[in-house]
Structure 1
Amino acid sequence: MSIDADRARPAVLLNPLAGDPTDADSHIGGPLLWPIDEPWPTCDGTTHDPASGAEPFVGAVQLYRRDYPELPFPEGADLLQVFLCTLHHELPHAHGPDVRLVWRDSSTVVELIEEEPEPSVQEELYVPTVNALEPIRYTEHADKVSGGTKIGGFTPWQTEPVEFPCPDCGAAQRQTLSLGTHEPSGEDVEWEFGREGNLNVLTCAKDVRHTVTVHVD
């Protein structure tokens, strides 16, 4: 039976569980496969509070295509790395951490960074604990939206669907990843977004490397 994208979409609950993942694994909050010769992502400090100046992003999520082919990987990429600036930001559609996505070809990473930079100050409620993942694949319906950390599916709304145009090209954006304050399993990551809601990351349907939209419900 075909899936009506307006009312039902494929989704993957990441189902985080305590573990000890490595940079070769998909995970939340663990070490990233980051090359020694590439600058680590840095927030310039213009939109975060307190205004402490530039701070390094924190590696939050790492997902390999072999584990999660449902993600919209661009050509030549097999790894998605999600970073949070773990300070409070006043963004157009969100109040919380800022987000950066890095799509890369893992086979090009030869020598790893020796130590991941840490911010000098951060909001602890945005910092994840280290978790391995045991995914659950399902079909999500528009009138029954999961609040857990997931790939795909729908963004929760109160009165009407949440939709945004791409800031770079105007094409429709789609929900790619949602980070949940609470997990259906009860094994929470110990971060909190909004009023115990989700941080939703939407990407351009034409080019996922375009500017993302962050929406906190």
Structure 2
Amino acid sequence: MLDRVPESPIPVVGVAQFYARDIPEIPFPEGTDLLQVLWCPNDHELEAVGSAPAPLLVWRRATDVTDVLAEPPMRDHTTPDGGPETPVADLSYEDYLPRPCVLHPERVAEYPFPEELPEHLQTALDAWEDDSEHSYQYLLSIAPGCKIGGWESWHATDMYELPCDVCGTETEPLLQLDSSEWDGGSAPRWRPLEERHLEWSTPECQETLEPTTLQLGRYAALTIFLCPRSAEHGHRLTIQ
């Protein structure tokens, strides 16, 4: 259950938006070319996830977005009884309010989590890791950080199925929102070369490590899954 419930509805918060022209791999429903990811910036008890912000996916046509506001209409909130306005930040969890930032996407090659591989490949990887100072998971497998598509990392729980609630088809990762872009284990492989000169614990390093300032779960990543048959079937979630 929520440890606090606002007395009246609060605005959802914009998290990210993507255009089909930039990322055609996203399964946009017919007639749409803009995906806006929003969520309620408070804890919700979600099935198989626990406490997390509740996402909302809005599929639109970019040409329909004609009047773009210079300032978001969600800075203040007025109570129904006409009481004093309260900043949305005071009605939300700070950890769920993303810091505005510009996306600089980079395409990378990923490989499935070891448990998703055939048994003979898992055995070969285990033998390779026994002779290596690094882990397959950190070196080659799954990119950490915020990303579109790719594979899920099942490092916090056992791997489990996420069938579509409408048709039963196994869902696939759409968007991962991570609390950090890399950590001590994944830094040798996934920390950008352009940022490796920055000293740990400095403000400059912290800004590249946590550009969105989101804190999800126990410093974890929230992944939104979509049905490959229809994006309009809704979504499923994990936190790893």
Q: Tell me whether 1:155 sits opposite 2:152 in the alignment.
A: yes
Q: Aligned runs of 1:115-126 on 2, under 5 Å?
A: 115-118=72-75, 119=88, 121-126=91-96
Runs of at least 4 residues off by over 4 Å:
none
Partners in 1 of 2:231 and 2:2 — Cα distance? Answer: 24
Match of 1:108 among 61, 64, 67: 64
> What 5-or-longer segments of structure 2 have no aligned partner?
76-87, 114-140, 183-190, 192-207
> What 5-or-longer segments of structure 1 have no aligned partner?
1-46
Contact 1:87 1:123 in 2 (8 A): yes
Contact 1:150 1:179 in 2 (8 A): yes
Report the AA paired with residue 174 of structure 1.
E
Q: Aligned runs of 1:23-62 on 2, under 5 Å?
A: 48-52=2-6, 53-62=8-17
Partners in 2 of 1:199 and 1:115 — Cα distance? Answer: 25
Report the AA paired with residue 97 of structure 1.
P
1:28 aligned residue:
none
Q: Tell me whether 1:78 sits opposite 2:76 in the alignment.
A: no
How far off is 1:135 after superposition? 1.0
TM-score (norm 1): 0.72
Stretch of structure 1 that moved more, 150-159 or 171-180: 150-159
Per the alignment, do residues 48 and 202 of structure 1 end up closer, same or farther by CA in structure 2, a change over 3 Å counting? farther
Q: Aligned runs of 1:6-17 on 2, under 5 Å?
A: none
Report the AA paired with residue 105 of structure 1.
R
Q: Which has the higher contact order (CA 8 A, sep 6+)?
A: 1
2:196 aligned residue:
none
Q: Tell me whether 1:89 sits opposite 2:50 in the alignment.
A: no
Per the alignment, do residues 48 and 67 of structure 1 end up closer, same or farther by CA in structure 2, a change over 3 Å counting? farther
3-state SS, counterpart of residue 107 of structure 1: helix
How far off is 1:51 after superposition? 1.5
Q: Aligned runs of 1:61-210 on 2, under 5 Å?
A: 61-94=16-49, 95-113=51-69, 115-118=72-75, 119=88, 121-143=91-113, 144-158=141-155, 160-184=158-182, 185=191, 186-188=208-210, 189-210=212-233
How far off is 1:128 after superposition? 0.5
3-state SS, counterpart of residue 63 of structure 2: helix
Partners in 1 of 2:74 and 2:166 — Cα distance? Answer: 30
Partners in 1 of 2:219 and 2:235 — Cα distance? Answer: 22
3-state SS, counterpart of residue 125 of structure 1: helix
How far off is 1:126 after superposition? 0.9
How far off is 1:48 after superposition? 4.9
1:24 aligned residue:
none
Higher gyration radius (CA): 2
More strand by share: 1
Partners in 1 of 2:4 and 2:145 — Cα distance? Answer: 29
How far off is 1:204 after superposition? 1.1
Partners in 1 of 2:153 and 2:3 — Cα distance? Answer: 26
How far off is 1:162 after superposition? 4.0
More helix by share: 2
How far off is 1:49 after superposition? 4.4
Contact 1:147 1:197 in 2 (8 A): no
